[in-house]
Chain A
Amino acid sequence: MKLGRMILVGVIAFFGVSIAKANAQVVDFNISANYSWGLDMVHSSLKQNENRYTAIGWNFSNKSSHKMWFRVVDSAERQIGSAGLFNYKTTDAIQSNLSIGQNYWLSARRENVIDPVTTVSGTWNA
């Protein structure tokens, strides 16, 4: 189980990053996240290939050393694929079956209920 899960994470990260680079749909995001999902103002629409993984690298926050939750949503704010818990200043990937010609938004959230709004920014390879 340990080996299987580690391989799965590795494969998702590798393919996520490589496929996203091939498609080159790189978008800068800046999200004000709260306990409920905060939505980014930018969106991404795939023009060439369908994308099974989306890679998120976040490198700025008004808080230090913590993890944030990310997910991709469609125009009706429905979650596409799974949500991911990503570390500060790293690039990770989550499974999100994106199709050509559709608009998708990146959404972020944190586990802390009471703190001031957390601002996160980085790049989204969709």
Chain B
Amino acid sequence: MVFNFYMRSVSLKSFLTRNRNFIILYIILELIFIFCTLQEIEFYQKFLSIIFDSDLRINFMDNYDCNNILYLPFKILVCDLKNLGFDYIIIWGTNIFQLFIPFFAIFSVLIFWNRKYNSNVKNIFNFSLKFTFTIFAAYLVYYLILILSIGNIFNSTIRGELFIDLVGESFYYNHTYIYYFFDGIIKFFYVPFIYIFSSIILSRYFKNILVFLNFIILYYFGISPIITILEHLVNINFLYINPIAIMISNIYPKINSILLLFSNFILVIISLLISKFRHKNFFVDKASIITFSLLILIINYAFLGFSLNSSKEIINVVYHNISYFIIYLFLSNLLINWSCNIKKNNKLNNIDFCKILFSIFFIILFTFMLLIVIFKIFSYSFSYFELFYYMGNLYIILLIINFMELMLEKVFCLNNMSFRLVFLFFVIFIYIFKYLYNVDFIGFNIFKYYFVFDNFYHLIFHYLIWIVLSYIIINILKRVYNRGD
């Protein structure tokens, strides 16, 4: 018995070790869904009010009909979830997932090449299935939690659009739970599978993982805003070539489901064709990625001419975008040199792996911010204050992450990769939610009043200071890291 028990515990341990990345991924996704749900019902503000504001506490106790203060948060949670309805919560609880698709694609590429799998299509297919099942499992558990906690309560204005052209309009109202199960299969299984499977195949034809990262982010985040602007100008529906449309198919009335599913599957067909007809000497280098990015910028400026009136405004906008683009290239170059090339070293050690993840995290943030900065201008809601606020925060976060990583490794002697991964995900998590919901976390607003500029020289000074500072600090850390290795 003892022997059997011992054997079981060993097998469980080895299972956990072998699948630790998948388990971390599952836990993080589940937490994100729960965090989004709580944010949607404004639970955090209400919870803080219960603790610190006595008037509001009494008000809540009356409104939610609860006499015991210990049960009040739970009562608020259940009542608010039921007020909003199952379909409303499942849409807004999982909607943030559309941001993570390129990140999962990169993450899967890293794990796949790090594990030294045989890179034939069958192996890539099996690995992609495993990765995608993890994502779908997180959705499925969240879906079951919502069914159990909310029950048969729905928002009367929501009408699902995907598959409705195939199964009829009444299907959504008659079988809402089943509809969201199939909706989940598409959003959390089909779409991630397409991106993960194609990414692993396509990443073989890129020189460096970070160059590939640029490509997948520009593809996923770059095309949708351009399509929006084109739709406004040309009045043609480009819905089916928009990579993000399938993730928010609920908002497009009378959608052609088969066409939408097929238009996304084209990425898999292209990657399979490339792997069949091209050999490994064919790859996309950095120059082509830079050309691709510049093309996106040029398209923006071409349309800016229609929307902005004075030439002074256009010059200002061009100046800002070029500045950001130069800083972006400069830092991404630095990080590409810093991180090692996966193709040369098949097996990475933990520290290299973390460095690459950190670089990826930084470039994802920077690309995301760059796109926000570029496309925000079209909305006429562009403000210098906001711009510098985001940029300042980005640099500060970069320095904080560097410093924290160094502290973890040198002071607390923590070289555990899972711990570092959790830390990195935590920072990404905080930053994304800070941007999306304007949640002020402690320490993120310190530099808000520092970045107030009123002339051209101040702007140049701003860029110079941050470029020099980040260069010095990254190099110091790099030397320390290298010595540590």
A-side residues, CB < 8 A to B, are 1-2, 5-6, 8-9, 12, 32, 35-36, 62-68, 82-88, 92, 94, 110-117, 119
Contact of A85 among B158, B170, B376 (CB under 8 A): B158
Contact of B436 among A35, A62, A83 (CB under 8 A): A35
Among residues of A, the one whose C-beta sits closest to the C-beta of B231 is: A64
Q: Shortest distance in angstroms between A101's beta carbon and chain B's nearest beta carbon? A: 19
In the assembled complex, B244 has its CB within 8 A of some CB on chain A: yes
- The interface residues of chain B lying within 8 Å CB-to-CB of A82 are 83-85, 88, 155-157
In the assembled complex, B455 has its CB within 8 A of some CB on chain A: no
Q: Indicate if the CB atoms of B221 and A114 lie closer than 8 Å.
A: yes
Would you list which residues of chain B between 72 and 87 have a CB under 8 Å from chain A? Answer: 83-85
CA distance A82 to B253 in the complex (A): 21
Binds A, one of B91-99, B203-211, B331-339: B91-99
Q: Indicate if the CB atoms of B225 and A115 lie closer than 8 Å.
A: yes
B-side residues, CB < 8 A to A, are 83-85, 88, 91, 95-96, 98-99, 154-159, 170, 173-174, 221, 224-225, 228-229, 231-232, 235, 237, 239, 244, 248, 250-253, 371-372, 375-376, 378-379, 381, 436-438
- The interface residues of chain B lying within 8 Å CB-to-CB of A65 are 237, 239, 252-253
Q: Indicate if the CB atoms of B376 and A117 lie closer than 8 Å.
A: yes
Contact of B228 among A9, A92, A111, A115 (CB under 8 A): A115
- The interface residues of chain B lying within 8 Å CB-to-CB of A113 are 95-96, 98-99, 244, 436
- In the complex, the number of residue pairs spanning A and B with C-beta atoms less than 8 Å apart equals 106
A36-B437, A82-B85 known; A111-B232 Cβ under 8 A: no
CA distance A83 to B248 in the complex (A): 17
Q: Shortest distance in angstroms between A71's beta carbon and chain B's nearest beta carbon? A: 10
Contact of A2 among B91, B173, B231 (CB under 8 A): B173
- The interface residues of chain A lying within 8 Å CB-to-CB of B237 are 64-65
Q: Indicate if the CB atoms of B157 and A92 lie closer than 8 Å.
A: yes
Q: Indicate if the CB atoms of A84 and B91 lie closer than 8 Å.
A: no
- The interface residues of chain B lying within 8 Å CB-to-CB of A114 are 98-99, 221, 224-225, 244, 371-372
- The interface residues of chain A lying within 8 Å CB-to-CB of B438 are 36
Q: Indicate if the CB atoms of B157 and A111 lie closer than 8 Å.
A: no
Q: Shortest distance in angstroms between A59's beta carbon and chain B's nearest beta carbon? A: 15
CA distance A117 to B436 in the complex (A): 13
CA distance A88 to B98 in the complex (A): 23
Q: Indicate if the CB atoms of B173 and A111 lie closer than 8 Å.
A: no
- The interface residues of chain B lying within 8 Å CB-to-CB of A115 are 224-225, 228, 375
Considering residues B252, B253, B371, B372, which has the most beta carbons from chain A within 10 angstroms of its beta carbon?
B253
- The interface residues of chain A lying within 8 Å CB-to-CB of B156 are 5, 8-9, 12, 82, 84
- The interface residues of chain A lying within 8 Å CB-to-CB of B95 are 111, 113
CA distance A105 to B95 in the complex (A): 25
CA distance A6 to B317 in the complex (A): 50
Contact of A66 among B99, B224, B252 (CB under 8 A): B252
Q: Indicate if the CB atoms of A116 and B157 lie closer than 8 Å.
A: no
- The interface residues of chain A lying within 8 Å CB-to-CB of B232 are 62-64
Among residues of A, the one whose C-beta sits closest to the C-beta of B99 is: A113
Q: Indicate if the CB atoms of B378 and A111 lie closer than 8 Å.
A: no
Considering residues A35, A36, A87, A92, which has the most beta carbons from chain B within 10 angstroms of its beta carbon?
A35
CA distance A111 to B84 in the complex (A): 16
CA distance A5 to B91 in the complex (A): 19
- The interface residues of chain B lying within 8 Å CB-to-CB of A119 are 379
Q: Indicate if the CB atoms of B379 and A116 lie closer than 8 Å.
A: yes
Q: Indicate if the CB atoms of B375 and A116 lie closer than 8 Å.
A: yes
A65-B252, A116-B378 known; A83-B173 Cβ under 8 A: no
- The interface residues of chain B lying within 8 Å CB-to-CB of A110 are 251
Q: Indicate if the CB atoms of B173 and A117 lie closer than 8 Å.
A: no
- The interface residues of chain B lying within 8 Å CB-to-CB of A66 are 251-253
Among residues of B, the one whose C-beta sits closest to the C-beta of A12 is: B156
Q: Indicate if the CB atoms of B379 and A85 lie closer than 8 Å.
A: no
Apart from A66-B252, A114-B224, what are 13 other A-B pairs with CB-CB below 8 Å? Answer: A9-B157, A12-B156, A36-B436, A62-B232, A65-B252, A83-B88, A111-B95, A112-B98, A113-B99, A113-B436, A114-B221, A114-B372, A117-B378
CA distance A94 to B84 in the complex (A): 12
- The interface residues of chain A lying within 8 Å CB-to-CB of B155 are 82-85
- The interface residues of chain A lying within 8 Å CB-to-CB of B173 are 1-2, 5-6
